[in-house]
Amino acid sequence: MSWWRQAVVYQVWPRSFADSDGDGVGDLPGVIDHLDHLQDLGVDAVWLSPVYPSPGVDGGYDISDYRGVDPLFGSLKDLDALIAGLHERGMRLVMDMVLNHTSDQHPWFRGEHRDFYLWRDEPANDWTSLFAGPAWTERDGRYYLHTFAVEQPDLDWENRQVRTEMHDLLRWWADRGVDGFRFDVISMISKDLEHGTPLGFGPRLHEFLQGIHAVTGDAMTVGEMPGVTVEQAALVTDPAREELDMVFTFEHVGLDHGVSKWDHRPLQLPELKATMARWQGLDHGWNSLYWDNHDQPRAVSRFGDDGEHRVASAKTLATTLHLHRGTPFVYQGEELGMTNAHFTALTDYRDVESLRHADEARERGQDPAVILEALARTSRDNARTPMLWDDGPQRGFTTGKPWIPLPSSSVPGAAEQRTDPSSVLAHYRQLIALRHDEPTVAHGDFHLLLPDDARVWAFTRTYEGATLLIVANWSVDTVEPDLDQTGELVLGPPGTTLGPWESRIVRTG
Ligand code: TEU
């Protein structure tokens, strides 16, 4: 049985995790200093967002050298020490690989291999970049495709040499001892420039994924696929096809978007429940589970209540997610119940997507107050504020000036939460242990109850005669769901009613 089916993965976004040298930017020695935190939490693996040499236009997702570590984060020696430190503690390392595009500062784009990219005499379509503006930009009389920023030219995977280079570098990292890969926007590597969309899913996707699998073998792989459907996900994660182990899906984090992510549509709980339930059915395939990552606003602010009910709602969000079938991913700070940044000035923001959106919206004549409101709700910087380690200056993140402001909130740091049995951190520890101890959590069948209830999220998991009932109150009301909750209480408050944002797990059979 594949280890990752019972595992919980922790995502480190290194810039904001822990700064060891006082320059205000998190780094690899900072991660190594906090391995005990991860071990204490009980996670099985760490997904490390990019630390490669990069101009840092897109937080490291613009790579200029695939085989190194940016001096901002440390050195290859530090990375080897991180791998060793994780392995000593029984944890694994999953590297983030951006194979769809490079930085425009990569030697290939600077001249060594211009043919590795998608050049045309005229834009081949009218796609817009996911970071605002047209997706084709002219350079030296020709146009190149960039699905993201101008500084992130897309690679041409139709070129066999590109595929060979990518296979070589994956082999290089596997030989270095990494245990898995998270592939950035991997659905985009096969494109149909004529009839397709920037999201990819072109005709050769399966072939390209099988080519990657032939190199990565037993390493765990998770592919990010914006726009993926349940049917496509079931196909690419079917073990028999040897493509990917699991994918990151997006439907559940798009339900509160209007015409764009900057346009808010209030969440309808029955929709979220139905979406999550539908994604449970991947046949032989497997799914990842997440609320937070470095691209999403903090779920406790977005779906929960980051004021009076912050602790209860952070716990209930976690219980709901972790009791689904799939591999849960915990994003740094989520285990503390960290909230959105609550920035109030444009100058607080750092993310290229937010800044370019703000420019574009301003040019369109949008009211600055509306722009700030959209950023405060949706900006990726909400997830990128420094990790709250303790109550000291700069919350233990750095001895210098943090590269991005701290979030304005009174969330207790990891040090305080570690000794408090009622903390969000303690709750995550319990959920992770439960997944390890209870085969039903990892392998059980899923059945949604009360699908139309706008406040209660309830479901069962059943496996080899055992049944767990999960009942979660996603509201500020006190509820008494019409369900038989007789059984042994596994987690949460006793009784049959649930106070604001409370949830419980009961072994009913
Ligand atoms: O993200 C790809 C992606 O489609 C989104 O999550 C994207 O950031 C969001 O939709 C924008 O609104 C990946 C990385 O996770 C992200 O950090 C990078 O910026 C992006 O690819 C480009 O490499």
Distance 130 CA to ligand 1 centre (A): 8
Distance 148 CA to ligand 1 centre (A): 8
The 8 Å CB, 24+ separation contacts for 431-435 are: 431/318, 431/319, 431/322, 431/323, 431/328, 431/491, 432/8, 432/41, 432/42, 432/43, 432/322, 433/42, 434/322, 434/490, 434/491, 434/505, 435/6, 435/7, 435/8, 435/322, 435/328
For 115-138, what is the mean pLDDT? 96
Give residue 445's pLDDT.
97
CA separation for the pair 97, 63 (Å, rounded): 9
pLDDT of 1 > 80? The answer is: no
Give residue 4's pLDDT.
97
Percent of the chain surpassing pLDDT 90: 98
Per-residue pLDDT reduced to its tens digit, 410-455: 899 999 999 999 999 999 999 999 999 999 999 999 999 999 999 9
Q: Which of 58, 184, 256, 292 is labelled catalytic?
A: 184
Q: Which of 27, 151, 224, 438 is labelled catalytic?
A: 224
Backbone angles phi, psi at 366, to 5 degrees: -70, 145
DSSP code of 216? H
Percent of the chain surpassing pLDDT 70: 100
How would residue 409 be classed by pLDDT, with cut points 50, 70 and 90?
confident
pLDDT of 475 > 90? The answer is: yes
What is the average pLDDT score of the chain? Answer: 97
SS (H, E, C) 172-197: HHHHCCCCEEEECCHHHHCCCCCCCC
Per-residue pLDDT reduced to its tens digit, 225-244: 999 999 999 999 999 999 99
- The residue whose CA has the least distance to atom 5 of ligand 1 is 295
Per-residue pLDDT reduced to its tens digit, 147-199: 999 999 999 999 999 999 999 999 999 999 999 999 999 999 999 999 999 99
Q: Is 224 a catalytic residue?
A: yes
For 462-485, what is the mean pLDDT? 98
Give residue 132's pLDDT.
82
Report the amino acid identity of residue 346. Answer: L
Distance 485 CA to ligand 1 centre (A): 41
| CA–CA distances in Å: residue 282 to residues 213, 252, 446 | 20, 16, 12
How would residue 478 be classed by pLDDT, with cut points 50, 70 and 90?
very high
Residue 351 Cβ contacting ligand 1 at under 6 Å: no
Tokens of 364: 């369109």
What is the CA 152 to chain-centroid distance, rounded? Answer: 20
Q: Is 184 a catalytic residue?
A: yes
For 355-363, what is the mean pLDDT? 96
Distance 295 CA to ligand 1 centre (A): 6
How would residue 33 be classed by pLDDT, with cut points 50, 70 and 90?
very high
pLDDT of 104 > 80? The answer is: yes
Three-class secondary structure of residue 87 per DSSP: helix
Residue 248 Cβ contacting ligand 1 at under 6 Å: no
In what side-by-side order are the strands of the sheet with 136-139? 119-120, 142-145, 136-139
For 450-474, what is the mean pLDDT? 98
pTM recorded for the entire structure: 0.98
How would residue 82 be classed by pLDDT, with cut points 50, 70 and 90?
very high
CA separation for the pair 295, 280 (Å, rounded): 23
